[in-house]
Amino acid sequence: MPGQDAHTAAEQRFSVNLSILFTELPLLERPAAAAAAGFSAVELWWPWADSPTPGQSELDALGEAIEGAGVRLTGLNFYAGLLPGPDRGALSVPGAQSERFRANVEVAADLAGALGCGALNALYGNRVDGVAAAEQDALALENLALAAAAADRIGAVLLVETLNRTESPRYPLVSAQAAVDVVDQVNRVTGLDNARFLMDLYHLSMNGEDLPRAIERYTPVTGHVQIADNPGRGAPGTGRLPLDDLLQRLRKAGYEGWIGLEYQPGGRPSAEAFGWLPPGALGPVC
């Protein structure tokens, strides 16, 4: 992000996604590595891709690693299948996948609640052969309502995310409006008003969206933001996205939440992938 205004960047609140950065380390070592790199906040995809309901000892160990590192958990995905990999989510996929999602809802909420996490991300699911889209959408709404209730129980928001059609061709939410429409449906059905849009600028850019317009239009319903540069899904400054300008636009539009760093470190140790951040950007947050 060459030329970024240091004052503007320092005003942002950055969290690091430990499911895409610091993955050269075992899971339980990543929170401390993030803290050593200067971060006070982390986020995670569901860490156990093969299990929506890991043993309590595994859950406790992760919680202890996060608390012991002195960082806070700001975002956690519900179970979403194999990430990264062929799965893109689980909650709209009939059969075993949606059953795993249901089994995970309270487990994930309990973990998030114990760590003071304020945002739970519920990824939709790929379209599957032999099942009508309307049937999948009805199942999704039912499961999202369950997730919204679990999030509400711990005082968190439920996030709905847009992915991109190039990397996820069977994922149905490939525009900001599509995800926001689902957010609106969940809020109408539950009456909880705790569903929010997860604005991932990398995915939106891959879909060819007008990012300044998306920020202006959707910031009021945004509960979390994630960034990576495009092309390449690398650190800011490795691609062509004007992320400095976009972050300033987000702040001017009223977004004061966390900015999740969800990018590839680019063949180097993750600790070396934050040189684009100006001094002070990872300072204490009041």
Give the residue numbers marked as catalytic: 161, 262
In DSSP terms, 258 is beta-bridged to 13
Task: Write the DSSP symbol of residue 93.
Answer: S
Residues 6+ apart with CB under 8 A from 229: 202, 235, 236, 237, 238, 239, 240, 241, 243, 263
Q: Which of 184, 8, 171, 4 is nearest to 89 (CA)?
A: 171
Token duo for residue 283 = 């300072």
**Angle subtended at Cα 135 by Cα 132 and Cα 139, rounded to the nearest 5 degrees:** 145
Task: Write the DSSP symbol of residue 31.
Answer: H
Q: Outline where the chain has alpha helix (H).
A: 6-11, 30-36, 56-69, 96-114, 133-153, 176-190, 201-206, 211-218, 243-252
How far, CA to CA in Å, does 280 sit from each of 10, 183, 186, 216? 6, 35, 38, 27
Q: 10 Å Cβ neighbour count for 280?
A: 11
Whether the bond into 231 is cis, omega within 30 of 0: yes
Does residue 87 contact residue 124 with C-beta atoms inside 8 Å?
A: no
- In 3-state terms, the chain is what percent helix, strand and coil (to 5)? 40, 15, 45
Does residue 232 contact residue 238 with C-beta atoms inside 8 Å?
A: yes
Does residue 243 contact residue 201 with C-beta atoms inside 8 Å?
A: yes
